[in-house]
A and B are shown apart, each in its own frame.
Chain A
Amino acid sequence: MSVAITVKDVVKRYGETTVIPGLTTHIGRGEFFTLLGPSGCGKTTLLRMLAGFNTVESGDIFFNDVRINDVEPSKRRIGMVFQNYAIFPHLSVRKNVEFGLRNMDVPRKEVRSRAEEYIELVQIERWADQMPDRLSGGQQQRVALARALVTSPEVLLMDEPLSNLDAKLRVEMREVVREIQKRVGITTVYVTHDQEEAMAVSDRIAVMKDGVIQQLGTPRELYHRPANLFVGGFIGRTNVLDGQLHVENGQTLVTVAGATLVVPGLPGAADAVGPVKVAVRPEEFVLDSSATTGIPAVVDHGVFLGINTHYFLTLRDGTAVEVIQESEFDEVLEPGAEVFLDVKRHKINVFDRDGATNLRTGSTAAQQQVPA
């Protein structure tokens, strides 16, 4: 049985510095919710407030309708997977998994069978009676996961659980984590600063910066319709171009580096006439060597990567851009070649002059924080 978590106007201060200036959000039952953001943005701080290891200076945290601000960590019915696993080195793998059960009033026989169940769930039967120091990182991570889940907690918290693993194992383990979370159906708050990992596992992601949620949404929303330039730059790669927006005959026109493009579907355009930022992901450029109109650019160099070829070009106003093209057999653009670029108009995003508002969705960071 899992719970919904409501966080209301939560503030965290360390001495004089405010790390989280007032954060509100809602996490649904059984949801895989990820906190994503650059180092130092307060992800761990927020997670540890949910766990009860950090005090909450003001605001409230609810598990369902119960305010848990002053509830002991041990009473919150939380399972936690730590970045360094925090496996007890003096206990065997099995004893580690049984540890939480032994502290509850579970009969001896059931302790054993429930531990076994979770040991099988994370597939560590082979090492169950070994001491944990002989296990590899991935195996230890599985132990930590089993140990966190075996007591049937209502919330699972994970703080960068995969960051100590090598790249390949990280990909493998994130599938394990995701699959087990779905199977158990537990409300999960996951912290990472790896955006690809976040997208792979999450139902929804909260992108944080300086203790403020910049955007909350599904991975798809974050990628295609970032609320502001920070999110656009943090999730995936993006080229940011300076543009001028004007409206003529009911059409929205954006002038970029010597070319004027018609960009449909910008409801906020009328208020944003003047300088804007245009965010174009590398694959949203269209590079056709035979084109004679579009944004003029000069090829710097190309990198052939099999499926795709990455081109690095310079626009007329000096902006360097990256373009991804599907590789063609006879396609060769030599350095110095002059080409014209087009963009996929319905895909690109246009932000107001300081990059705070996406003109397509009209949303800002502040609006995004209203609970779903």
Chain B
Amino acid sequence: MTTILTTPETKARRSRPLGLDVWTTVSLALLLLFGLFLLYPMFGVLKESVVDPDGGLTLSHFVRFLANDYYVGTVRNSFVVSIAVTVVSLAIGVPFSYFYTYYRLRGAKLLFVGAVLSCMSAPFIGAYAWILLLGRNGVATQLLESVLPFKIGSIYGFGGIVLVLSLKLFPLVSVYMNAAFRSIDGSLLEAASLMGSTGLRRVWQVMIRLTVPTLLAASLLVFMRAFADFGTPMLIGEGYRTFTVEIYNQYLGEVGQNHNFAAAIGIIGVIVTAAVFLFQKFAANRFSFSLKAGSPVQKRRPRGIGGALIYAYMYVLIALAMLPQLYIVYLSFRNNNQVVFLPGYSLDNYRMAMGRLLGRSVYNTIMFAVVALAIIVLVSVLLAYLVVRRANPVNNFVDTVSMLPYIMPGAVIGIGLVIAFNSPPLALTGTAVVMIVMLVIRRMPYTIRSATATLMHLPMSIEEAARSLGASKLKAFWRITVPMMGAGVASGAVLSFVAIVTEMSAGIILYNNRTITLTMSAYVAITRGSYGLACAFSAILTVLTAVLLAIYLRFTREEDVRM
């Protein structure tokens, strides 16, 4: 980031009595907003974790946590399962990208859409569908056990979490790796093969090594998602307790609530994610080098047995990833008495959902998402401008703060908001406002990153040209800079929209009957054990995300898809 202060601007600033030009005002306003809605709640969590019931300072919650192997175990479980998910996602996602990038496959677009869809689906739907398929009374379980001589393993616990999350998160790896593989100059590969590096050896020596920075970035992303995920371990984890589930139980559980303890667990979770984040940064720095753009590699047609295997791999993988959602949509039309599925099909489930706040859920979902997205885009564009074009300590501080939610599990943000806004003067808990604030906070870091990256690639001279032609600072910004950032930010925004619609882990702590969303309705129906209702809500959510993504992918070049 560079500090560029041209002389005319400096003069203009001096000429104002208070030294407040437009951008200084904006940057102070952002500072205030982030302070109020992000730092203050986070501080609240911290405070909550170190006070005893009488209001005195204490470290007893942390001591209790560290002294008890059960609690430490939840964080350890989260960590181990997230590492496993990351490794498996890389193991299946990298080959997927490799074949996708270097072979001309039939139905490539379909594969890509499938991958994006499964990645953007609501987090717990996969878990729920796999339980219905492979759980104790699952269809596939019964089918397989009647055929196979041995009992198939349990879907619950560690294995189930890894299965569900890996199938959901490998597309994240793929989207990143597609771009990385695409950017490898063909002549590098040719040079390697002339020097005796061919086949798998070349893949390892050159292609993987060249994409290490991307692999690290993707790994971090997958790890963070897996670590903070709440719905999957809650539904399918059973005995395998993760710390997100523990926070939830401590905060909202039916028995033995302990808010202070929940906050302390949250803080420990944040420490872990922060450590992983820093470790990744360190590793990424060690492996960083610059790739020159070159001519891309020509795609080959897959041939022979190898080709058949490639096709099998790609389609089976996507089919598995899509299976949960398709199955849920199918089940939503099946008759049932809420406990078992019955033969025949009808719209009964949907009719019942109407009676259970369906209308309000859909309205809230859309309304929250639209408002949150508008705020996200506005703030992101402003902040990106401040950071890239007017770097100064205040702006850089706001930028750093805005990245905090990246390493904050949703549950921690949820708790923070409850603590901060539970009582006057700002009693927002239970209102739509707090839901929207939560959504904004959760998704903002991604949009800010993409806006900043876009702006960095726009030459400063364009704005200067506008200014030299008599446009005011603000006019140059709105008429020149913003439209030029538009495409990049807009494509990120649609994905943010989908992510907002399926947000779950913070929402679960903040929602109530008035602010319930589709995701919450679906989750509540699942936990109450009413199949039909759960499937109907999940199906509606699935179709809504699918439609949004279809529109998005229709108008976005594949290279621009960022998740």
Chain A contacts to B: CB under 8 angstroms? 51, 53, 72-74, 76, 78-80, 82-84, 86, 88-91, 99-100, 103-104, 131, 133, 147-148, 151
Picked from A51, A82, A89, the residue with its CB within 8 Å of the CB of B289 is A89
Q: Are A78 and B194 in contact (CB under 8 A)?
A: yes
Complex contacts, B197 vs chain A, CB 8 Å: 74, 99, 103
Picked from A72, A86, A104, A131, the residue with its CB within 8 Å of the CB of B191 is A86
Q: How far is the CB of B299 from chain A (nearest CB, A)?
A: 15
Residue of A nearest to B290 (CB): A133
Q: How far is the CB of B156 from chain A (nearest CB, A)?
A: 42
Instruction: Give the distance in Å from the alpha carbon of A261 to the alpha carbon of B206 in the complex.
Output: 66
Complex contacts, B185 vs chain A, CB 8 Å: 84, 86
Most buried by A among B191, B193, B206, B290: B191
Q: Are A133 and B289 in contact (CB under 8 A)?
A: yes
Q: How far is the CB of B21 from chain A (nearest CB, A)?
A: 39
Chain B: interface residue total (CB-CB under 8 A): 24
Nearest 4 interchain pairs by C-beta = A100-B195, A103-B196, A86-B187, A86-B191
Please list 7 pairs of residues, one from A and one from B, whose beta carbons are closer than 8 Å in the complex, sorted by A's number: A73-B193, A76-B194, A80-B191, A89-B292, A99-B205, A103-B196, A151-B195
Q: A84-B294, A103-B201, A131-B289 are in contact. Are A79 and B194 (CB under 8 A)?
A: yes
Q: Are A90 and B194 in contact (CB under 8 A)?
A: no
Complex contacts, A104 vs chain B, CB 8 Å: 196
Q: Are A84 and B292 in contact (CB under 8 A)?
A: yes
Complex contacts, B206 vs chain A, CB 8 Å: 88
Q: How far is the CB of A114 from chain B (nearest CB, A)?
A: 13
Q: How far is the CB of B173 from chain A (nearest CB, A)?
A: 19
Instruction: Give the distance in Å from the alpha carbon of A133 to the alpha carbon of B288 in the complex.
Output: 11
Convert B212-223 into 0s and 1s, putting 1 for each residue whose CB lies closer than 8 angstroms to a CB of A: 100000000000
Complex contacts, B201 vs chain A, CB 8 Å: 103
Instruction: Give the distance in Å from the alpha carbon of A98 to the alpha carbon of B45 in the complex.
Output: 55
Residue of B nearest to A133 (CB): B290
Within 8 A of A (CB), among B172-211: 185, 187-188, 190-198, 201, 205-206, 209-210
Within 8 A of A (CB), among B294-309: 294
Complex contacts, A148 vs chain B, CB 8 Å: 194
Q: How far is the CB of A120 from chain B (nearest CB, A)?
A: 20
Q: Are A73 and B190 in contact (CB under 8 A)?
A: yes
Most buried by B among A53, A79, A90, A91: A90
Q: Are A74 and B198 in contact (CB under 8 A)?
A: yes
Chain B contacts to A: CB under 8 angstroms? 185, 187-188, 190-198, 201, 205-206, 209-210, 212, 287, 289-292, 294
Instruction: Give the distance in Å from the alpha carbon of A360 to the alpha carbon of B371 in the complex.
Output: 84
Picked from B194, B205, B290, the residue with its CB within 8 Å of the CB of A89 is B290
Instruction: Give the distance in Å from the alpha carbon of A103 to the alpha carbon of B192 in the complex.
Output: 10
Residue of B nearest to A151 (CB): B195
Complex contacts, B196 vs chain A, CB 8 Å: 74, 100, 103-104, 151
Most buried by B among A103, A104, A133: A103
Residue of B nearest to A76 (CB): B194
Q: How far is the CB of A96 from chain B (nearest CB, A)?
A: 9
Instruction: Give the distance in Å from the alpha carbon of A340 to the alpha carbon of B196 in the complex.
Output: 65
Complex contacts, B290 vs chain A, CB 8 Å: 89, 133
Q: A86-B187, A89-B292, A90-B287 are in contact. Are A74 and B194 (CB under 8 A)?
A: yes
Q: How far is the CB of A205 from chain B (nearest CB, A)?
A: 25
Residue of B nearest to A53 (CB): B190
Complex contacts, A84 vs chain B, CB 8 Å: 185, 187, 292, 294
Complex contacts, B188 vs chain A, CB 8 Å: 86, 88
Most buried by A among B185, B195, B205: B195
Q: Are B291 and A89 in contact (CB under 8 A)?
A: yes
Q: Are B194 and A80 in contact (CB under 8 A)?
A: yes
Q: How far is the CB of B296 from chain A (nearest CB, A)?
A: 13
Q: Are B289 and A86 in contact (CB under 8 A)?
A: no
Residue of B nearest to A144 (CB): B191
Kindly list 11 other residue pairs between chains A and B, CB separation below 8 angstroms, not including A79-B194, A80-B191, A82-B187: A72-B193, A73-B193, A80-B194, A82-B190, A83-B187, A84-B294, A88-B192, A88-B209, A89-B210, A90-B212, A131-B289
Picked from B194, B212, B291, the residue with its CB within 8 Å of the CB of A73 is B194
Complex contacts, B291 vs chain A, CB 8 Å: 89
Complex contacts, A103 vs chain B, CB 8 Å: 195-197, 201
Complex contacts, A80 vs chain B, CB 8 Å: 190-191, 194
Most buried by A among B192, B194, B196: B194
Q: Are A86 and B190 in contact (CB under 8 A)?
A: yes
Q: Are A90 and B209 in contact (CB under 8 A)?
A: yes
Residue of B nearest to A48 (CB): B190
Instruction: Give the distance in Å from the alpha carbon of A131 to the alpha carbon of B287 in the complex.
Output: 11
Residue of A nearest to B198 (CB): A74
Residue of A nearest to B289 (CB): A89
Q: Are B292 and A99 in contact (CB under 8 A)?
A: no
Q: A89-B210, A131-B289 are in contact. Are A72 and B198 (CB under 8 A)?
A: yes
Instruction: Give the distance in Å from the alpha carbon of A366 to the alpha carbon of B261 in the complex.
Output: 91
Q: How far is the CB of B547 from chain A (nearest CB, A)?
A: 39
Complex contacts, B192 vs chain A, CB 8 Å: 88, 99
Residue of A nearest to B211 (CB): A90
Q: How far is the CB of A192 from chain B (nearest CB, A)?
A: 17
Residue of B nearest to A99 (CB): B195
